Structure 1
Amino acid sequence: MSTLLDIPCTTIDNRDSSLGALQGKAYLVVNTASKCGFTPQYKGLEALWQEYGERGLRVAGFPCNQFGAQEPGNSGEISEFCELNYGVSFPLFKKIDVNGANAHPLFVELKQQAPGVLGSKGIKWNFTKFLVDGQGRVLKRYAPTTKPEELRADIEALLP
């Protein structure tokens, strides 16, 4: 049986992949942007990756330019920005759409499994976060205003 872990994705350096290829016990999937008020959350996401990566947490960033054109760069520019400004070492994927007719299938499935407020199927802004278990089930959706450090208890509950 196929899960959202099997949905094909392309890494920021243009390699075919998927969440499952990251071989995690838990996944934190985030739509990101480099020029957003929430961009400093990259630091918190990196901290979670550093703290829980050895125990099986995989953080996956998906740049998106759908909200206020806050991710205008190409893959090289995005990767360089994240590394230089926030020390990002967790996996980044190619820029995608998360809403609309061209929404990436991964985000279509994430939104289906974990609708937003009042059942909304849309993503409202950059840095919406989804916590996914090792079987590919979305356990929780977090608003952009939820800081990465606030997810620690939920992550701890998933990891050995």
Structure 2
Amino acid sequence: QWSSTNATNTRQKVRLVRLKTIAYMGVIAVVVALLAITSFKKERMLLDINRNSDLYELRSSGYVDNDYVFLFHNTDNKDHEFYFKVLGQKDIQIKKPLNPIVIKAGQKIKAVVILRKPLKSNATEYKRAKDALIPIMIQAYSADDKNITIERESVFIAPSED
């Protein structure tokens, strides 16, 4: 029969229910509960936004363009159509892509994104202007499942109009 060293020396019964044992079981229960909670809160879409090395591009038509590379990752087990919008900046428009991006279950896709903002005056006046950093919030979402949505911060760079 199994016995602990302490129980053999003192000729007492082995105490399985001790403060240490209860504390260890409590810690293990908390870890298992946290693991279960985080596994149910898995994001079904991941988005990584990278800016192009060019700050911006001035268009002769009176617009400034910023290029980005979006890495969409569909972590859901179903195919989805993803699209995005710029929150809080009504004058910044999506130039490319114009249609939702279809991503199969578990697939990653890189998409070149061009955002455009109109300038107040002629583009040639901005050649020597300082740059303005405009913080933007991009919300990506599934066009076919309203529960799949994610927001990421980025920056739109344009010549200062002051």
TM-score, length-scaled by structure 2: 0.20
TM-score, length-scaled by structure 1: 0.20
Bigger relative contact order (CA 8 A; separation at least 6): 1
**Greater Cα radius of gyration, structure 1 or 2:** 2
Structure with more of its chain in strand, by fraction: 2
